[in-house]
Amino acid sequence: MEKVESDQLITQCPLCRDVAAAVAGDLDRLVAVREHSIIVVGEHQFFPGYCMVVARHHAREMHDLPPEIQREIFDDVMTLGRAIEHAFTPFKMNYVSLGNVVEHLHWHVIPRRADEADPKAHPWAESARFTEKKTTPGEARRVSRLIQPFL
Closest residue to Zn ion in the complex (CB): 13
Nearest to Zn ion of 96, 125 (CB atom): 96
Q: Is 73 in the site for Zn ion (CB under 5 A)?
A: no
Q: Is 58 in the site for Zn ion (CB under 5 A)?
A: yes
Nearest to Zn ion of 14, 137 (CB atom): 14
- For residue 77, which of 22, 21, 39 has the smallest C-alpha distance? 39
Q: Is 15 in the site for Zn ion (CB under 5 A)?
A: yes
What is the rounded distance in angstroms from the CA atom of residue 142 to the CA atom of residue 4?
38
What is the rounded distance in angstroms from the CA atom of residue 112 to the CA atom of residue 92?
5
Q: What are phi and psi of 70, to 5 degrees?
A: -55, -50
CB of 67 to Zn ion, least distance (A): 21
Q: CB-based contacts of 111: which residues, under 8 Å, 6+ apart?
A: 47, 48, 49, 50, 84, 85, 88, 90, 92, 93, 94
Nearest to Zn ion of 60, 82 (CB atom): 60
Nearest to Zn ion of 29, 104 (CB atom): 104
Q: Is 104 in the site for Zn ion (CB under 5 A)?
A: yes
Counting residues that bind Zn ion (by CB under 5 A) gives 5
Q: Is 13 in the site for Zn ion (CB under 5 A)?
A: yes
CB of 103 to Zn ion, least distance (A): 8
CB of 66 to Zn ion, least distance (A): 17
Rg of the Cα trace of the chain? Answer: 15
Q: Note the residues at the interface with Zn ion (CB under 5 A).
A: 13, 15-16, 58, 104
